[in-house]
Amino acid sequence: MRVDLFDFELPQDRIALRPVRPRDAARMLVVRGQDAPFEDACVLDLPDLLEPGDVLVFNDTRVLPAQLEGRRAGGEAKVGATLHKRLDLRRWDAFVRNAKRVKEGDQIIFGGGITAIAESRNADGSITLFFEGEEPVEVLLDRAGTMPLPPYIAARRGVDEQDLADYQTMFASEDGAVAAPTASLHFTDRLIEALEARGIGREMLTLHVGAGTFLPVKADDTDDHQMHSEFGRISAEAAKRLNAAKKAGGRIIAVGTTSLRTLESAASQDGQIHEFAADTDIFITPGYRFKAVDGLMTNFHLPKSTLMMLVSALMGRERMMAAYAHAIENEYRFYSYGDSSLLLP
């Protein structure tokens, strides 16, 4: 499909630079089947919008402060690195600013006494960095890294201490992401308690979100776009409970596109969800037949993005374009720190 079919005009003042407080006070646009009117709701209304027996599936990845600033050893060339995929204990793939100034074998000196060797250049434009020393890379990042805010926020304001809390979900426990699963940013203890009281289940999976989620689709046709792979995991126990919930008539509602892509990667054609621990580069566009999920809670996405294509696959392109037009007209807040939507095909 042509990528420009997923384009729309968004006023700059609709891009949220901070989340609302409390988190669960964000607005939520409910989008149902083709003939149903759009519903302007609030995230706190979620328990009443779901049914007992439904299950929400969250991503428990934890965002690392994965941006580092430094310089090439033996020179003054400044280098910025955003780690986006862990390869092993000491190696990460990174998108590097001023990458043309970095050659294979160069040492890069970052703040906090951190050094890394540029090992190789990759086909996607990233560079594999080998971090020297004995300390775990995650410890080094906690010491010297900053939160990798999306470019549409970072271009308009600096990263600060508040982002360390704001850009982390209440479920974050598994180190490895360089971008937040932002749909889960809206959840609070009181919302979870209300969902439990309503009889709505909760399951966890892990997808370590990479910086590739922010990269624009440069191809003119979706067939020519290559997704970056990310590591995902679903336990055998969680898969068993999800299958039992579906068998009992409950709906599987993915909280965030990262949860949805992991569930779909782990599902067989008969709709059964299986234990999963592997990289996935699943690219969901209109025409895709969903196997595992029955609905999605997600924020509002960038025009011509892979995530805009995913929600269009779930609800229909024309339906989602109309929903986004409604959201813009009614002053919903967009992107990572913005409002939410509940998509129920």
Query: What is the C-alpha separation between 216 and 202, in angstroms, rounded?
Result: 32
Encode pLDDT of 105-119 as tens digits. 999 999 888 999 999
In the chain, ranges of CATH 3.40.1780.10 domains = 3-63+165-343
What Cα–Cα distance (Å) separates residue 230 from each residue in 100, 106, 147, 212?
Answer: 25, 27, 19, 9
Q: How many residues does the chain have?
A: 345
DSSP bridge partners of 58: 204
In the chain, ranges of CATH 2.40.10.240 domains = 67-145
pLDDT at 315 over 70: yes
C-alpha angle 161-166-167 in degrees, rounded to nearest 5 = 100
Q: How far is CA 113 from its chain centroid?
A: 30
In terms of pLDDT, which residue wins out, 98 or 331? 331
Nearest to 254 by CA among 293, 209, 215: 293
Q: Which pLDDT value is given to residue 213?
A: 67
CATH class for the domain made up of 67-145: mainly beta
Encode pLDDT of 158-195 as tens digits. 889 899 899 999 999 998 898 899 999 999 999 999 99
What mean pLDDT is predicted for residues 315-336?
97
What mean pLDDT is predicted for residues 212-222?
78
Range from 40-44, 296-300, 302-306 carrying the lowest mean pLDDT: 302-306
Encode pLDDT of 274-286 as tens digits. 999 999 999 999 9
Query: What is the C-alpha separation between 12 and 129, in angstroms, rounded?
Result: 35
Nearest to 228 by CA among 247, 248, 209: 209
In terms of pLDDT, which residue wins out, 132 or 86? 132
**Residues 6+ away with beta carbon under 8 Å from 25:** 42, 43, 44
Termini Cα distance of the chain? 21
Query: What is the C-alpha separation between 101 and 95, in angstroms, rounded?
Result: 13
Query: What is the C-alpha separation between 158 and 168, in angstroms, rounded?
Result: 17
Q: Which pLDDT value is given to residue 214?
A: 62
331, amino acid identity:
E
Nearest to 63 by CA among 156, 166, 147, 139: 147
HEC-encoded secondary structure of 23-90:
HHHCEEEEECCCCCCCEEEEHHHHHHHCCCCCEEEEECEEECCCEEEEEECCCCCEEEEEEEEECCCC
CATH number of this structure's domain 3-63+165-343: 3.40.1780.10
> Look-up: residue for tokens 């005009």?
9
